[in-house]
Amino acid sequence: MAEKYIARSSAIAARLLGDEMMVMSTADSTFFTLNEVASVIWQAADGLTPLSEIVAAKICREFDVDQEQALRGAERFVEELSQHGILLVSDKPLMDSSLSLVSR
């Protein structure tokens, strides 16, 4: 299966509130909250690390879940956010977007 690379879009606003990440698309004002696991994927979305590697290193290790199951969940999450233009997905590494994003 081809690797997926994910990067945060520059057209978003985001902030960590407690253990949840708030994310809003500035294009269509869609508002999401990401749970702890999704927030970890979000913060690791640097465009350069394959999704499978993020899941293995950040999710399976920290949350003690099965790799295959975690990857399926991560792919669904990535798919949903990419439909709103919040995450960029590619089968090749993604270059930095126009804004240098600082996730807090």
Please, what is the minimum distance in Å from the beta carbon of residue 32 to other proteins?
8
Residues of span 13-42 touching other proteins by CB under 8 A: 13-18, 20, 22, 24, 26-27, 29, 31-33
Please, what is the minimum distance in Å from the beta carbon of residue 38 to other proteins?
14
By C-beta, is 53 or 96 nearer to other proteins?
96
Taking each helix axis as running N to C, give the angle between helix 36-44 and helix 67-83, from 0 to 180 degrees, rounded to the nearest 10: 70
Please, what is the minimum distance in Å from the beta carbon of residue 29 to other proteins?
7
Between CA 67 and CA 11 the distance in angstroms is 31
Strand pairing report for 12-17 and 31-34: unpaired
- Residue 49's Cβ-count burial label (10 Å; 0-12, 13-18, 19+) is middle
Q: Which two tokens stand for residue 42?
A: 């979000």
Residues that bind other proteins (CB under 8 A): 10-18, 20, 22, 24, 26-27, 29, 31-33, 98-104
